[in-house]
Structure 1
Amino acid sequence: MANSSNIADEITKALKDYTSEVSEGLEQSKLEVANETVKILKRDSPKSNRKSTKKYGKGWARKKVSTAQVIYNRNKPSLTHLLEKGHAKRGGGRVPGNPHIKPAEKQAIEKYVKKVEKVIKG
C-alpha cells in the first residue's frame, strides 16, 4: 500500500510542477507578445505633422488586467477608432481609415498561439 501512495504522490508532484511551468510560460508569453505588439503599434501608427497624431503614435502601452495583458493608447484613446476605420469630415466627405490595429492584433494572436504551443509541448 505504501508503494502506491508514493506513486500517487510522485504523479501529483509532477503534475503540479508541470502546471506551474506552463502557467509561468504562458504569463511570460503574454508579456512578450504584448510588448512586441506595443512596439509594432508605435511604429505603424499613422503619422502626420499634427500634434495629436504624434502623441497618438507614442501613446501605445500595455497593462495587466486580471490575467490578461491589455494594449491601449494612453494619450489619445478616442482616436483609435477614427484612425483605424476612417471618419466623416466636418465640411463633407470622408477621411479613409488607416488600418494599423487589426494587423498588429492578427500578428499578436499568431505569435501567442505559437508560443503557447511551444510552452505546452515543453
Structure 2
Amino acid sequence: MSNIDIGRLSDEITNQLRRYSQVVSEDVEQITDELTAEGVEKIKNNIRSKKLIRSGGYVKGWTRKKVGKSIFIHNRTDYRLTHLLENGHAMVNGGRVFGTPHIRPVEEWMVTEYEKRIEKAIEK
C-alpha cells in the first residue's frame, strides 16, 4: 500500500471510487449485452420446443435493439402476434385460443440472472 499525504486522502478516495464506478459500469454493459443475446436465444428455443408457430418467420423475427444505453428484445417481423400468442385470443367463430407463455418465463429468468450477475460483478 502506498503512502498518501493526509491532505490528499479525500482526492485519492474520490479517484478510487471513480475507477471502481467505471469498472462496474463496463461490467454492467457487458452483462447486459450477453444476457440479452442469451434471452433472444431462449425465446427462440421456447417457441421451437412448444411448437408455437409452424413457419419459422416468427422465430427468426426475434432480435434485440440497442437504443442509447438500453437494449430491447422484440420481434421485428411479427410484433402483432406476440401478445396474442402469449396471452391468448378470441377466434372468429366465438371460440377461444389459450395463450402459450413463451416470453414471460424468459423475462423472469433474465431478471433474476441479471441481478445475480450484477451482484457478482460488484463483489469482485
TM-score normalised to the size of structure 1?
A: 0.89
- SS at 1:63 equivalent: strand
Query: Which residue does the alignment assign to 2:7?
Result: 5
Q: What do you get for the CA RMSD once the two structures are aligned?
A: 1.5
Query: Which residue does the alignment assign to 2:71?
Result: 69
Using the TM superposition, give the Cα deviation of residue 98 of structure 1 relative to its aligned residue in structure 2, in angstroms. Answer: 0.6
**Once superposed, which parts of structure 1, at least 4 consecutive aligned residues long, lie more than 4 Å away?**
none
Partner of residue 27 from structure 1, selected from 14, 17, 29: 29
Query: Which residue does the alignment assign to 1:47?
Result: 52
Runs of 5+ unmatched residues, structure 2: none
What are the Cα deviations for residues 63-86 of structure 1, in whole angstroms up to 9, with x where unaligned? 112322110001100000000001
Query: Which residue does the alignment assign to 2:93?
Result: 91
TM-score normalised to the size of structure 2?
A: 0.88
Alignment identity in percent?
42
Using the TM superposition, give the Cα deviation of residue 58 of structure 1 relative to its aligned residue in structure 2, in angstroms. Answer: 1.4
Runs of 5+ unmatched residues, structure 1: none
What are the Cα deviations for residues 76-120 of structure 1, in whole angstroms up to 9, with x where unaligned? 000000000011111110111110010010000011000110111
